[in-house]
Amino acid sequence: MKILLVIIGSGIGGGFRFWISAFLQKVLPVYFPIGTLAVNFLGSLLLGILIFVFDDKQLIDWKLKLLLGVGFCGGFTTFSTFSFETFNLFKNAEFLLAAFNILLNVLITIMGVYIGYLISK
């Protein structure tokens, strides 16, 4: 049962990740991997809200926590994609963009969790 919940959540999260990234690629310049940054922030924000609002206040059960926290957020956020895109920026001698990508992804995703924490207060 547990693994099935994670698999279902991961599949849905991966689908949303693909959709949001593809949408942002169409409407924004492709010089910077903004889609990955956006989903990493949104996933971190959602996880922060899920843990600090719903879990800490015992408003969700373990099944929903597995489905949304481990499954959806795990399938939705894109650390491996972030790593690949950053590597490609370095490989293409886009050192400033690569450093900017690392900095933004780390800071913005931590900020997402923090905003989720603030929402819980």
**Residues 106-120 pLDDT 10s:** 999 999 999 999 998
More confident residue, 55 or 100: 100
Angle at 77 between CA 76 and CA 80, to 5 degrees: 120
Structure confidence by residue, pLDDT tens digits, 39-92: 999 998 988 888 888 877 788 888 998 898 889 998 999 787 788 889 999 999
The pLDDT of residue 50 is 87
92 DSSP assignment: T
Q: Does this model's pTM top 0.75?
A: yes
Mean pLDDT of 16-30: 90
Cα dist from 40 to 13, 34, 47, 121, whole Å: 12, 10, 10, 23
Phi, psi for 10 (deg, rounded to 5): -65, -40
Burial per residue of 67-82, b for 16 or more beta-carbon CB atoms within 10 angstroms, e otherwise: bbbbbbbbbbbbeebb
Q: Which helix (H) or strand (E) holds 106?
A: helix 95-120
Mean pLDDT of 32-42: 89
Residue type at 71? Answer: G
pLDDT at 95 over 90: yes
The pLDDT of residue 32 is 84
Distance from chain centroid for Cα 51: 15
